Amino acid sequence: METNFVLEQPAYKTSTFQFLWKVFRNPLQALSDLANEQGDIARVKLRRRDLFLLNHPSFIEEVLVKQADNFIKGPSLQRARAILGGGLLTSEGDEHLSQRRALQPAFHRHKMEEYLPLMNENTLAHIANWKNGERVDMSEGMMRLTLNIALWSFFGSAPEGAVGKVSDAMKTLVRLFPLAQMPLPESARSLFPSFKEAKASLSGVIEALLQNPQNDRALIHILKESRQFTDEQVRAHALTFLLAGHETTALLLAWCWDLLAHHPGAQTKLQTEADAILGDCLPAPEDLEKLVYARAVVKETLRMRPPAWAMGREAAQDCEIGGQFIPAGSTVILSQWVTHHDSRFYDEPLLFRPERWFDFEMPLTPRYSYFPFGGGSRVCIGEHFAMTEAAAILAVVARRWNIAPAQREPALPKPSVTLRPDKNVKVVIARRAVS
Ligand code: HEM
């Protein structure tokens, strides 16, 4: 039988035990070391299947775009159903496609015009309580701010106590995420009362949001009017957008403030731009294109501290990528952390240099050397929302406040379900004397 596959597999170059030990101790270093040892395609033998780490943009494109039908979400994400139910993040195949088509209009680029005023208002309300010279916890603060924005944008209100309940539940779920990852029956998970309580608390918030008669936002309109969604799916989607719609953006912003606090030169450029473009106004949709430096700060932060630091897929059938045979059932890992730090695509990848994103500096970078929002048909549906929100918040805050580090060293990245700072980002704020 003719085949293009290289059926004679080369010997495994990395010891399974060593790799797993490194993953246990430091997953980011483990993936970087694997890429350094083996190059664009790394392979490790696991108990029942092989694991492949693909490190070249064209191989990443194969998985996310060209052979996307053959790569289903890894079992770990399927297990995230234990938290999210059958929402957009966890569905597959035709079901995913039809859900995505139905929900897409709520996230179209032109919809940002509706969301931007809510982002601005919430940001102003958030910083209204700041006092000159005080120490501010940006990790906590950005979590609350983006959660309020998600509540107003997707559900049209922020009911009393909702922000506190969702933040508390999120903390519990992030702490217990490894439990959700284990292939346990639902009944076993229920043995952990805090897991059960966090889920019940979130369900209560979702119920209140869905019952609110004034809830006229585009997302809810689609969920309620489209006949394709069962009641259970409506709740699963609402929960997915509430959680996915604030947590990653909050982390991105906390990382932005950490990097800006430790790079005062970049902060000054951000402020100069915000002064010139915004003056006494809040960002309007047409300003976003002009906030070139703010967007470059966001992009550079997503490169250096990608909240989604690795994505897993499973090969449904035997296939081939870059001459490498990938057997059905193999786990394939694509890592934003590894690729975004690859010196073939980024000069001095460890340096925070927003200017590298100016068009003239970066004309020929391969498409998938940068994929903070994933790619292909499963690319993040909230990409425009998150980019708009982050750039607007940076500009509004930078126009009014100076941010200095309250900690001597920048935070270190700590990979969990998302890439979090190892300690909360704290800054000291000083009111700017702006004309
Ligand atoms: C900085 C902020 C964000 C980052 C870094 C991010 C990252 C990602 C990534 C990498 C994926 C693809 C996952 C995969 O293919 O396995 C994804 C999917 C998704 N994101 Fe985001 N996201 C962000 C903000 C948002 C926001 C604001 C929303 C909601 C409005 C959102 C909702 C979703 C949903 C529902 C999916 C699943 C899409 C699908 O499978 O069709 N995300 N996100």
If you average pLDDT over residues 304-320, what whole number do you get?
Answer: 96
| C-alpha span between 330 and 326 (Å, rounded) | 7
CA-nearest residue, atom 27 of ligand 1: 245
Q: Which residues line ligand 1 (CB under 6 A)?
A: 88-89, 100, 240-241, 244-245, 248-249, 252, 307-308, 311, 372-374, 378, 380-382, 385-386
Domain positions in the chain are: 74-308+372-431
> What is the average per-residue pLDDT within 92-100?
91
pLDDT level of residue 75 (50, 70, 90 thresholds): confident
In ligand 1, which atom is closest to the CA atom of 240?
Answer: 35
**Distance between Cα 378 and ligand 1 center (Å):** 8
> Is the pLDDT confidence value at 58 over 90?
yes
The whole-number pLDDT of residue 433 equals 84
> pLDDT confidence of 310, banded at 50, 70, 90?
very high
Cα R_g (the chain), whole angstroms: 22
Q: Rounded CA gap, 38 and 13, in Å?
A: 7
Ligand 1 center–CA 383 separation, angstroms: 7
DSSP letters, 160-196, are TTHHHHHHHHHHHHHHTHHHHHS---HHHHTTSHHHH
Q: How confident is the model at residue 362 (pLDDT cuts 50, 70, 90)?
A: low
Ligand 1 centroid, distance to 88 Cα (angstroms):
10
* 74-308+372-431 CATH: 1.10.630.10
**Ligand 1, atom 37, residue with closest C-alpha:** 89
Question: How high is the pLDDT of residue 213?
Answer: 74
Predicted confidence at residue 46, as pLDDT, reads: 86
How many CB atoms lie under 10 A from the CB of residue 43? 19
Instruction: Determine the distance separating the centroid of ligand 1 and the alpha carbon of 370, expressed in angstroms.
Output: 15
Look at residue 179 and tell me whether its pLDDT is greater than 80: no
Question: Residue 312 CA: which ligand 1 atom is closest?
Answer: 16
Q: Which residue has the CA at smallest separation from atom 6 of ligand 1?
A: 373
The whole-model pTM stands at: 0.94
User: Which of 331, 334, 380 to mutate to test ligand 1, by most ligand atoms within 8 A of the CB atom?
Assistant: 380
SS3 315: strand
The residue whose CA is least distant from atom 42 of ligand 1 is 382
Q: Is 184 exposed, middle or buried (0-12, 13-18, 19+ CB in 10 A)?
A: middle
Residues 23, 31: Cα–Cα separation, whole Å: 8
